[in-house]
Amino acid sequence: MSEARTPGTGGLRMRRMGIDTYQEMVIYMRSDCHVCRSEGLEAQSRVEVRAHDREIVATLNVVHGGALLGVGDIGLSEAAWRALAGKEGDEVTIAHRAPEASFSAVRGKIFGRPFSTESVAGIVRDIVRGRYSDIELATLITACSGNRLDLAETIALTSAMIGAGQQLKWERDVVTDKHCVGGLPGNRTTLLVVPIVAACGLLIPKTSSRAITSPAGTADTMETVAPVALKLEQMRKVVEREGGCIAWGGAVSLSPADDLLIRVERPLDLDSDGLLVASVLSKKIAAGSTHVMIDIPVGRTAKIRSPQAANAIAQRLEQVGDALGIHVRTMLSDGTQPVGRGIGPALEANDVLAVLQSERNAPADLRERSLALVAGILEMGGRAAPGEGLALATATLDSGAAFRKFVAICEAQGGFRLPPRAAYRQPVRALHRGRVVAVDNRRLAGIAKLAGAPKAKAAGIEFHAPVGSLIEEGQPLFTVHAESPGELSYALDYARAQQDVITLQQEP
């Protein structure tokens, strides 16, 4: 369909309603407003809203009675208010929304017509312009889920996502990065890999996302010890000074379409290989990386459940990397149980700090995984000969050089601080004696989320029952941490209603 649009109707004055609809833009108009009538608008209409030189597409809520808005006023939700960047009383022009040409390619995809490079670029462009409603985003995500994106489509989507945001350039031939394909609670290796690699002299300007469907993303965890919402120039200064950073990707506008998709993916809890690969590699390439190490945990209750699925994703990551000119190396790892002891932003940060400081009871699994990833990066990046990366990585950690580098990075990002501690804590205990034979990562993550993670930074789970350990009757299996009593009791109710979050085999 064409992008022809009406001149629209003006003369309305903008009013800030103070209503927070998260990222969805909503406008409020009186039911007796002449503009509603002449433009033929009604509740839930999609509307173009223009003020000065800015333009948004918003959803209309119609207001009955005169208590909320005066005659000739148009109310804006917080997101719409920010996007239009005007002030009280500024004139606003509204018009029917022109039909979105790119969405017809989404419909076609559902009926089996593959995306073309052009159609994907159009979709991503419109998403970044705020042109897709939430139900349109949900439709796109569903159409891409269940492995329905092929290699060519995934390459096209990755390219489109890179092109829709900022791109960084670094004055170095080797720019390293790492990524973990999510789903394994507590697997916070980034906070160890970055300082070790940087301490070894390689550049590692890391951007991370917040949680999609998990109780904590790397950015959420890092935020408990230092600011992560760095602007591009701040990030550049941190990397120039320290050789590495751990910043939130959304704040530097690398692949901004990804963040908009995540907002709808999160409540739906849907994953797609194609969206996953595009999300990961678009961020890496936009960040200017040349060599990327990717950890793929595999386990029955991890995000990737089988070695077959892991190999398929590994292959797709390498193929798309090849096509777009970066080196990608993958590592399959154990995904049968949480890594470390904490699940949730602050609790995971505590594990990281214990490893960095070589504390006696620091989680060995988190340490070993991180060292294996660093080894790969040091070898890929030419800092160690093949087979010698692990020794260099271990020495750098054990010497304290990595901890000093971590604190230095935190300071450069705005200041190191200790993670917060939850006000409400309660253990869940074993009902009988037995040996731990299985852990359900998904349900454990579910409990941590109900306790408030990742939004409540101190919330989550402290995990006491790794596979193989012998647990006495009444001994704590895990402790729930929460910032409010409502969240604590909700998480505990749910935990107690579940069977086999942690499976204990009775022993003689």
| Residues identified as active-site | 271
Other residues' Cβ atoms within 10 Å of the Cβ of residue 233: 9
> Contact with a copy of itself (CB under 8 A): which of 204, 456, 465, 502?
456
The answer to the question of residue 70 lying near a copy of itself (CB under 8 A) is no
Shortest Å, Cβ 283 to a copy of itself: 24
Scanning 47-55, 282-290, 348-356, 449-457 for contacts with a copy of itself by CB under 8 A, the matching segment is 449-457
> Contact with a copy of itself (CB under 8 A): which of 40, 89, 325, 508?
40
Can you tell me the distance from the alpha carbon of 362 to that of 349, in angstroms, rounded to the nearest whole number? 12
The answer to the question of residue 305 lying near a copy of itself (CB under 8 A) is no
Q: State which residue, 143 or 280, has the beta carbon closest to a copy of itself.
A: 143
The answer to the question of residue 207 lying near a copy of itself (CB under 8 A) is no
Shortest Å, Cβ 142 to a copy of itself: 4
Residue written as tokens 């409502």? 486
Residue 16 neighbours by CB under 8 Å, 6+ apart: 75, 76, 78, 81, 88
The answer to the question of residue 145 lying near a copy of itself (CB under 8 A) is yes
Beta bridge partners of 333: 297
Beta bridge partners of 57: 48
Residue 335 neighbours by CB under 8 Å, 6+ apart: 183, 184, 297, 298, 299, 302, 303, 304, 441
Can you tell me the distance from the alpha carbon of 3 to that of 486, in angstroms, rounded to the nearest whole number? 49
Alpha-carbon 294 to chain mean position: 16
List the structure tokens of 192.
């160890």
Shortest Å, Cβ 203 to a copy of itself: 37
Residue 195 neighbours by CB under 8 Å, 6+ apart: 244, 356, 402, 403, 405, 406, 409
> Contact with a copy of itself (CB under 8 A): which of 53, 325, 497, 505?
497
Per-residue binding string, a copy of itself, 71-90, x by CB under 8 A, is ------xx------------
Other residues' Cβ atoms within 10 Å of the Cβ of residue 333: 23
Other residues' Cβ atoms within 10 Å of the Cβ of residue 22: 9
Alpha-carbon 401 to chain mean position: 29
Shortest Å, Cβ 341 to a copy of itself: 23
List the structure tokens of 214.
């998990």
Scanning 43-51, 219-227, 241-249, 355-363 for contacts with a copy of itself by CB under 8 A, the matching segment is 43-51
DSSP run (H or E) holding 490: helix 485-497
Scanning 109-117, 223-231, 248-256, 315-323 for contacts with a copy of itself by CB under 8 A, the matching segment is 109-117
Q: Contact 26/57 with Cβ under 8 angstroms?
A: no
Helices (H), 341-400: 345-356, 364-380, 389-398
Shortest Å, Cβ 483 to a copy of itself: 7
The answer to the question of residue 308 lying near a copy of itself (CB under 8 A) is no
Can you tell me the distance from the alpha carbon of 371 to that of 388, in angstroms, rounded to the nearest whole number? 12
The answer to the question of residue 63 lying near a copy of itself (CB under 8 A) is yes
Shortest Å, Cβ 20 to a copy of itself: 4
List the structure tokens of 266.
């999160």
Q: State which residue, 67 or 508, has the beta carbon closest to a copy of itself.
A: 67
Shortest Å, Cβ 263 to a copy of itself: 9
Q: Contact 386/379 with Cβ under 8 angstroms?
A: yes
Beta bridge partners of 246: 206
Per-residue binding string, a copy of itself, 240-269, x by CB under 8 A, is ------------------------x--xxx
The answer to the question of residue 423 lying near a copy of itself (CB under 8 A) is no
The answer to the question of residue 22 lying near a copy of itself (CB under 8 A) is yes
The answer to the question of residue 487 lying near a copy of itself (CB under 8 A) is yes
The answer to the question of residue 136 lying near a copy of itself (CB under 8 A) is yes
Q: Contact 424/459 with Cβ under 8 angstroms?
A: no
The answer to the question of residue 220 lying near a copy of itself (CB under 8 A) is no
> Contact with a copy of itself (CB under 8 A): which of 52, 107, 241, 432?
107
> Contact with a copy of itself (CB under 8 A): which of 55, 91, 134, 411?
134
Scanning 63-71, 124-132, 204-212, 249-257 for contacts with a copy of itself by CB under 8 A, the matching segment is 63-71
The answer to the question of residue 110 lying near a copy of itself (CB under 8 A) is yes
Q: State which residue, 34 or 404, has the beta carbon closest to a copy of itself.
A: 34
Burial class (CB in 10 A: 0-12, 13-18, 19+), 320: buried
The answer to the question of residue 53 lying near a copy of itself (CB under 8 A) is no
Q: State which residue, 145 or 358, has the beta carbon closest to a copy of itself.
A: 145
